[in-house]
Amino acid sequence: MVLEYDFDIVVNEQADEDTGSEQLDQCATRARFRHVKTADALRSASPKIRLIFQEAGFDLDSTDSDMMHGYYPPRDVAERERILRALFTNIRELGISGEYCGEFDFHRFLDNVKTAKPRNDQRPKVENWTPNPRYKSPATPERRTLPGRIGVALGLAVILFAVLRYLAEKGATP
């Protein structure tokens, strides 16, 4: 199964209430994966892997985002860098060799982090996309439905039968 490792920076409301509105702790902002399956894959990894991500600032929940795959809002640049630096520091200090990762693929995660770009103008997702209707040529008639075709065929048969009967009465044979 191929997972998408896009994540968004979200404000943790619980941390805001605990620290008060006058001071914002670094724990107030967290990184959450956009897709539930990716968050599930991280939750099913070993406890050490989960700890590395949680201490860096990742949540084990997912978020609902309208951003396209491979892009993130430009306002998240500073928090993204802070969280990713903390993550890479944790990986270097604690190490991940020999730990069970399950479906979570670190190489794909790193590739996704490297290729992700900030995006100001957001195009709608594919689900919201509606194509422009093609123009219809006025010279092409619409196809008739089956009952219409049957009606035309029966009308022609009745006319042909009437013409043949008229010719037979007049003595002309076809």
Query: What is the domain extent for residue 155?
Result: 141-174
**Looking at the structure, do residues 67 and 114 belong to the same domain, yes or no?**
yes
Q: What are phi and psi of 40, to 5 degrees?
A: -65, -40
**Looking at the structure, do residues 89 and 32 belong to the same domain, yes or no?**
yes
Is 49 within a domain? yes
Q: How confident is the model at residue 144, as a pLDDT?
A: 65
Is 53 within a domain? yes
Q: How confident is the model at residue 132, as a pLDDT?
A: 61
Is 27 within a domain? yes
Count the domains in the chain: 2
pLDDT digits (tens, 9 = 90+) for 42-67: 999 999 999 999 999 998 888 888 78
**Looking at the structure, do residues 13 and 50 belong to the same domain, yes or no?**
yes
Q: Are strands 117-118 and 7-11 parallel, antiparallel or unpaired?
A: unpaired
Bridge partner list, 8: 32
Bridge partner list, 58: 31
Is 1 within a domain? no
Tokens of 103: 């479906």
Coil/strand/helix, residue 160: helix
With tokens 């042909």, the residue in question is 160
pLDDT digits (tens, 9 = 90+) for 85-105: 999 999 899 888 888 888 888
Q: How confident is the model at residue 149, as a pLDDT?
A: 84
Is 157 within a domain? yes
Rounded mean pLDDT of the chain?
A: 80
Q: How confident is the model at residue 143, as a pLDDT?
A: 64
Question: What's the gap between Cα 162 and its chain centre?
Answer: 64
Mean pLDDT score, 120-125? 60
Q: How confident is the model at residue 121, as a pLDDT?
A: 62
Gap between the Cα atoms of 85 and 87, Å rounded? 5
- Residue 74 in contact with residue 133, Cβ under 8 Å? no
Q: Where are the alpha helices (DSSP H) in the chain?
A: 13-19, 36-43, 47-56, 77-94, 106-115, 146-169
- What is the percent of the chain with per-residue pLDDT over 90, rounded to a whole number? 22
pLDDT surpassing 80 at residue 165: yes
Gap between the Cα atoms of 25 and 82, Å rounded? 13
**Looking at the structure, do residues 28 and 113 belong to the same domain, yes or no?**
yes
Dmax over CA atoms of the chain, in Å, equals 110
pLDDT surpassing 80 at residue 141: no
Tokens of 83: 């969280």
